[in-house]
Amino acid sequence: MDTPTDTVPDASDDERLAPATREFLVREQGLLIDGRRVPAADGRTLPVHDPATGRRIATVACASAADVDLAVRAARRAFEGDWARTTTPERSRAMWRLAELCEAHHRTFRELEILDNGMPWNLGEMMAPLAAEFLRYYGGWPTKIEGRTIPASPMGRRPGETLTYTLREPIGVVGAITPWNSPLAMAVLKLAPALAAGCTLVLKPAELTPLSALLLGDLALEAGIPPGVFNVVPGFGEDAGAALAAHEGVDKIAFTGSTEVGRAIVRAAAGNLKKVSLELGGKSPVVVFADADLQAVIPAATFAAFFLQGQNCMAGTRLFVHERVHDAVVEGIVAFTRTLPVGPGLDPRNVFGPLISREQRERVLGYVQTGRAQGATLALGGRALDAPGWFAEPTIFTGTRPDMSIVREEIFGPVLCVQRFGDGDLASVARAANETIYGLSGSVWTRDVSVAHRMVRLIDAGQVSVNCHAAVDPSIPFGGNRQSGWGREMGEEALDLYLKSKAVTVAL
Ligand code: NAP
Ligand code: MG
C-alpha cells in the first residue's frame, strides 16, 4: 500500500473538499512570474501527493534556472517600478487586504495544507488566520520604519554646521526558500516583513508542498500588490533553489530548512555576497524540575514533541526530567500519547497525521533502529502504521544518553528522547540541555521563579519559554543560535533582515 499511485482518481473528486479547493486542484498550476501563471520554460511539471493516502492530488509547473531568472528580473522591475512608487499607507492597505483574502479563503487553505503536507485538521484550521495575523502585524510597519538623526561632528565641524541622519531602505530583491513542514506559514514569514520593508520576492517553496504558496500568490495580486512583487517558482532545491541562491540579481536570501542545506546556501550566496538569513534545524530541550505542575507538563511535553508529527524545527525532542518525577512524567506522556487519534487530517478527530514522504518515514524508522541498537529503551511506538500513506507511530525512548545519534541529530519526526537528572547545580542541568549543535528553542518547567529565570539565562537558544513550549506570535522574535541559524524572524527584528541603513551627512 505504500507506493504513491498516480493511477487512482485524484483528490478533486473528494466530496469532503470545498468546491473552490477541488477547482484549485484540477487547475493547471503554472509558476507565478510577473503577475501571470506560466508553464515552466522547459515544460516540466511536478506531481503533488497527499502523504495521508499516497495519492496524487495536483500537478504544478516545475521551475528551473531559466524560470528563476525570469522571476528575478520581474522582481527587479517591480522593485524599481510599481512597488517603489507605492506609498507606505498603500503598502499597508494592500497587506491588510491580503490578510482579509487569506481569511476569506481559509477553508481552501486548510484543505490544501492538510492534503499537501499531511497536517492534522486543527493545525490546518489555524494556518490561514495565522497568515492573516502576520500580514496585519507587518502591514502596520511600513508607516513606522524610521531612521535617526545623529549629533555628529564630522571633520571637526561645530554643532549646527552639519546634519547627519540615517535612511532605512529596502534591501532589494529577496530570494525566499522554504521547507515543506508548514508551507503557508513559512511563505508568509518571509513575505510579510519583506513587503513591509518595500522589498520584492521570488519564493521557491519546497517541491513537496507548493500549493498554498501559489494560492497566496494569486491572492496577493487580487489584493492589489503589483505584478512582479511576489513571484512563486516551485521546483527542486538542487535546481531552482540553487539557481536562486546563486543569482547575481538577488540581494538577499531568506532560507528556512536544514542546517546542511543552509551551509550550501551560504556557499552559493558568496558569489555576489548577497545577504543571508537562515532558520535552520533544532533539537530543543524541555527541562522538567521536580516541583513542576505535572498536569500541565504531560500534555504540553507531548505536543512539544509530536506537534506536526515532530516535523517542526522547535520540537521539544530532548526531555530532561528530574529523577523524583521521571517515572510519573514518562508514564503520563506514554498514556496521553496513546489517546491521540492517528489518521488523515481531513477527519477533524485526528490530531496526529502522516509523515511527509516515504523517504522521511524510512529516515525516522532508521533512527528508531539505531536508538535501540545503541541501548535506549523503547517506551512507546517505533513502527510504521499498517495503513495507506506514510504514517509512523509516535515514539518515546527512555534511558537515552547524549552520545546517542537519536539525541544528537535532528530526526524531524515523532521521536522523543528522555534523559533524567538529579539534584545537581543548575549549571550542570543547563550544560546537558545545551549539549547540541543547535540553539533554537527550549522550555523550563518549575514553580520556582528563581530556578526558572536562572535557567533561562543558562540555556543557549533563540527562544526559551517557562511553563509553556514554543510561543509563536507575529510580535515575538524567533530564530536560532549556533547552527540553528542567522538572524531573527518575526517581531520587529525581522524587518532588519530586509532593510539596509544609509548614513547621510549634509554640510549646512
Ligand atoms: P531542506 O531539505 O533543507 O529544504 C529546504 C528548502 O531548501 C526546500 O525548498 C528545498 O527544496 C531547498 N533546497 C534543497 N537543496 C537546496 C540547494 N542546494 N540550494 C537551494 N535550495 C535548496 O529542508 P526540509 O527537509 O524541506 O525541511 C526540514 C528542515 O527545515 C529541518 O531541518 C527543520 O528543522 C528546518 N526548519 C527550520 C525552521 C526554522 O524556523 N528554524 C522551520 C521549519 C523547518 P526541495 O525540498 O524542493 O528540494
Ligand atoms: Mg528536502
| Nearest-angstrom CA–CA distance, 193 and 95 | 10
* pLDDT score of 10: 62
- Beta strand pairing call for 252-256 and 36-38: unpaired
* pLDDT score of 1: 33
* pLDDT score of 13: 78
Residue 324, all three cell numbers: 523524583
Residue 189, all three cell numbers: 514569514
| Nearest-angstrom CA–CA distance, 445 and 19 | 46
Which member of 113, 125, 133, 279 is catalytic? 279
In order along its 508 residues, the chain shows pLDDT tens digits of 334 444 444 677 788 999 999 999 999 999 999 999 999 999 999 999 999 999 999 999 999 999 999 999 999 999 999 999 999 999 999 999 999 999 999 999 999 999 999 999 999 999 999 999 999 999 999 999 999 999 999 999 999 999 999 999 999 999 999 999 999 999 999 999 999 999 999 999 999 999 999 999 999 999 999 999 999 999 999 999 999 999 999 999 999 999 999 999 999 999 999 999 999 999 999 999 999 999 999 999 999 999 999 999 999 999 999 999 999 999 999 999 999 999 999 999 999 999 999 999 999 999 999 999 999 999 999 999 999 999 999 999 999 999 999 999 999 999 999 999 999 899 999 999 999 999 999 999 999 999 999 999 999 999 999 999 999 999 999 999 999 999 999 999 999 999 999 999 999 9
324 CB neighbour count, 10 Å cutoff = 13
| Nearest-angstrom CA–CA distance, 154 and 162 | 8
Pocket lining: 242 vs ligand 1, CB cutoff 6 Å: yes
| Nearest-angstrom CA–CA distance, 476 and 67 | 35
| Nearest-angstrom CA–CA distance, 233 and 207 | 10
Counted residue by residue, the chain has a size of 508
The alpha helices in 416-502, defined as continuous H runs, are 426-433, 449-458, 493-496
Type and span of the H or E element at 256: strand 252-256
* AA identity, residue 325: V
Q: Are 30 and 71 in contact (CB under 8 A)?
A: no
- Beta strand pairing call for 443-445 and 31-33: unpaired
Based on the residue annotation, tell me whether 199 is a catalytic residue of this protein. no
Residue 396, all three cell numbers: 518515546
Burial 200-210 (b: 16+ CB within 10 A, else e): bbbbbbbbbbb
| Nearest-angstrom CA–CA distance, 325 and 305 | 19
Residue 5, all three cell numbers: 499511485
Name, in order, each residue with C-beta under 8 angstroms of 450's C-beta and a sequence gap of 6 or more. none
| Nearest-angstrom CA–CA distance, 54 and 225 | 36
Based on the residue annotation, tell me whether 313 is a catalytic residue of this protein. yes
| Nearest-angstrom CA–CA distance, 484 and 462 | 9
Q: Residue with the nearest Cα to atom 11 of ligand 1?
A: 237
Residue 489 per-residue DSSP state = B
Minimum-distance ligand 1 atom for the alpha carbon of 480: 41
Pocket lining: 441 vs ligand 1, CB cutoff 6 Å: no
Q: Is 383 helix (H, G, I), strand (E, B) or coil?
A: coil
Pocket lining: 310 vs ligand 1, CB cutoff 6 Å: no
DSSP-assigned beta bridge partners for residue 33: 36
